[in-house]
Amino acid sequence: MGGKSIIILIVGLFIIASLGFVFAEYALGTPTYEIETEYGLGQGIDGWISIRFINASNSSIFEDSLGNSMTLIELLNENPGFNYTVNSTYGTIDSSVKSLYLDENTFKVPSTEGTYDYEFDYDGEEIFTEQITVVSDTDNLNYSINSKLNKVRNLKLDLEQYSSFQKTSINFAINLSEIEQELINLLLEYENATNQAQLDIVSLKLDAINVPKKITLTGTAHSVVSFPLVKNINLQAIEELSETSYDGTEEDYKNAALNWIVTYLDIKLNYDKFSANYESSSEVLVNVFEFSINKKVPLNYPIYVFIGKTNNTLVEQEYQEQGNYYVFEISENSEKINFSTKDNFNFANINFFVSPAITELVTEDLEYEEGGKEKEEEKRKWTIFILIMILLLIFGLILYLILQTWYKKRYEDYLFPNKNDLFNLANYITNAKKRGLDNEQIRGNLKKARWSSEQMRYALRKYSGRRTGMYEIAMRKALEKKQENPLPKTGFQQPL
């Protein structure tokens, strides 16, 4: 190949390698941004931008008209909930349209009173301009009250997207109307204050009112087919409610109740978990449940739904109480039961069951022959039991070896189908460790960013060099010892 051809090839490769940077761009979402417009002296900017990155350099700059600036990767590290991918070849970043929160520790207003035209730019291009006001400590109290009032009113508007019972449940958990009235009363106290002591009292009361920045849907499961656990079926509760009694073993009647549910009912569950996001933390507000009870065939007798009582529970439909249960009588072919609770528990383990009166449950009587045949039958059962246990042990060992191999070779791919996700997670953990955060703080931030507990555990253990898979049964080494001419060891060990 001639010298001229080599030069052309090099230039061509350089152009191809540069394309990822030539076409770097960003796109703004709708709405584009939201920002508070009144601040106390030296406070951090409270706001976010809605943005998408396409082949963006991780060293590109966000800056404002007040002289504050951060690189893209620095701001992303402060937003663990903002999902993005990194092109490992070019080091560029891509994402979908998401809300990127400004870092209050970097983007701050001046410590001087006044009105400012605040401009926020990305790589020299204006994203938004907003007029902000910086006020003194006294005026800041007025601003703080009105700021919290505005947050409450915006939250109430946001809740309009949810169902009537969901809104009722959220208000039951946090009582936004009561908080709004408290703030209105504080505003009146502030306006009528005549000395600093009265203003200090208003300030203390205001500090005690914690208003979330946002209420979000953080967990959901819809149309989940549900069956009660046998241990949750309470025959005594059924007896007392239906004024009937059972004559037989408790186990037989519990199994009969479960068989009746499977035969005659279709039960599905909808579940939604709502959380409140505060300045530096997040907490679960309320869990909302909806049971759909559908009869597979018409039934000419009443049936009852028993739901175990929990603390701080709100129920939409009419019910009666029976011991530790809320009881709902189902008369129609299809009915719904809505309830919510502030208690945080696994929705898959709800203490509930459904049953008609005891007299509607059918049990099968088991008869046994006496004498030698009975003993022979018992011996045969023990023989079968032992054989089954041996087969289960063999099956369990084989299954464990299969799982061991899977964890060793496929577990990481399963947790992180997109390798960029593991890269992003490792990058965040590394930076968090440099900032002095411990594992619990890192888990808290990652949980808010909706990383799963399994992903967090894997990344933290891998970061610290600990085992990430199953305990390994060294079958290969045991087999090698029996070989006459074992293969020499290579010194390479596949990490768990």
Convert the pLDDT of each residue in 272-288 to its tens digit: 999 888 876 778 899 99
- The answer to whether residues 339 and 235 belong to one domain is yes
**Residue 476 confidence class, pLDDT cut points 50, 70, 90:** low
Q: What is the pLDDT of residue 19?
A: 44
- Over 60: is that where the pLDDT of 484 sits? no
**Residue 139 confidence class, pLDDT cut points 50, 70, 90:** low
**Residue 37 confidence class, pLDDT cut points 50, 70, 90:** confident
Please say whether the beta carbons of 260 and 356 come within 8 A: yes
Mean pLDDT of the region 228-250: 84
Q: Within 10 Å of residue 28's Cβ, how many Cβ atoms?
A: 15
Q: What is the pLDDT of residue 369?
A: 40
- The answer to whether residues 118 and 223 belong to one domain is no
Q: What is the pLDDT of residue 269?
A: 92
Mean pLDDT of the region 237-242: 85
Q: What is the pLDDT of residue 133?
A: 86
Q: Is the residue at 376 inside a domain?
A: no
- The answer to whether residues 224 and 345 belong to one domain is yes
Phi and psi of 115, rounded to 5°? -110, 130
- The answer to whether residues 232 and 333 belong to one domain is yes
Mean pLDDT of the region 77-97: 83
Weakest-pLDDT range from 130-134, 438-442, 473-477: 473-477
Residue bearing the bigger pLDDT, 324 or 9 = 324
Q: Is the residue at 6 inside a domain?
A: no
- Over 90: is that where the pLDDT of 122 sits? yes
- The answer to whether residues 219 and 348 belong to one domain is yes
Q: Is the residue at 74 inside a domain?
A: yes
Q: Give 118-184 as a DSSP string.
A: EEEEETTEEEEEEEEEEE-HHHHHHHHHHHHHHHHHHHHHHGGGS-HHHHHHHHHHH-HHHHHHHHH
Query: What is the percent of the chain with per-residue pLDDT over 70, rounded to a whole number?
Result: 85
Q: What is the pLDDT of residue 368?
A: 37
- The answer to whether residues 124 and 218 belong to one domain is no
Q: Is the residue at 206 inside a domain?
A: no
**Tokens 């309830």, located at residue:** 339
Q: Is the residue at 175 inside a domain?
A: no
Q: Is the residue at 240 inside a domain?
A: yes
Mean pLDDT of the region 224-250: 85
**Residue 63 confidence class, pLDDT cut points 50, 70, 90:** very high
- Over 90: is that where the pLDDT of 166 sits? yes
- Over 90: is that where the pLDDT of 128 sits? yes
**Tokens 């203390």, located at residue:** 204
Among 104, 135, 166, which residue terminates a domain?
135
- The answer to whether residues 131 and 230 belong to one domain is no
Among 135, 153, 172, which residue terminates a domain?
135
Q: Is the residue at 88 inside a domain?
A: yes
* Contacts of residue 138, Cβ cutoff 8 Å, sequence gap at least 6: 199
298: containing domain: 214-360
CATH number at residue 67: 2.60.40
**Residue 48 confidence class, pLDDT cut points 50, 70, 90:** confident
Q: How far apart are CA 210 and CA 280, in angstroms?
A: 12
**Residue 42 confidence class, pLDDT cut points 50, 70, 90:** confident
Query: What is the percent of the chain with per-residue pLDDT over 90, rounded to a whole number?
Result: 29
pTM score of the predicted model: 0.52
Query: What is the per-residue burial (b if ≥16 Cβ within 10 Å, else e) of 186-214?
Result: bbebbeebeeeeebeebbebbeeeebbbe
- Over 80: is that where the pLDDT of 496 sits? no
E strand or H helix that includes residue 292: strand 282-295
- The answer to whether residues 235 and 103 belong to one domain is no
Weakest-pLDDT range from 16-25, 54-63, 147-156: 16-25
- The answer to whether residues 240 and 126 belong to one domain is no
Residue 495: asked if its preceding bond is cis (omega within 30°), the reply is no
Q: Is the residue at 121 inside a domain?
A: yes
Mean pLDDT of the region 17-41: 73
Mean pLDDT for all residues in the chain: 82
**Tokens 């109307």, located at residue:** 177
From residue 4, give the alpha-carbon distance in Å to each of 8, 13, 177.
Answer: 6, 14, 77
- The answer to whether residues 219 and 307 belong to one domain is yes
Q: What is the pLDDT of residue 469?
A: 65
Q: What is the pLDDT of residue 201?
A: 93
- The answer to whether residues 27 and 128 belong to one domain is yes
Among 360, 380, 408, which residue terminates a domain?
360
Q: What is the pLDDT of residue 344?
A: 73
Q: Give the number of domains in the chain.
A: 2
- The answer to whether residues 219 and 313 belong to one domain is yes
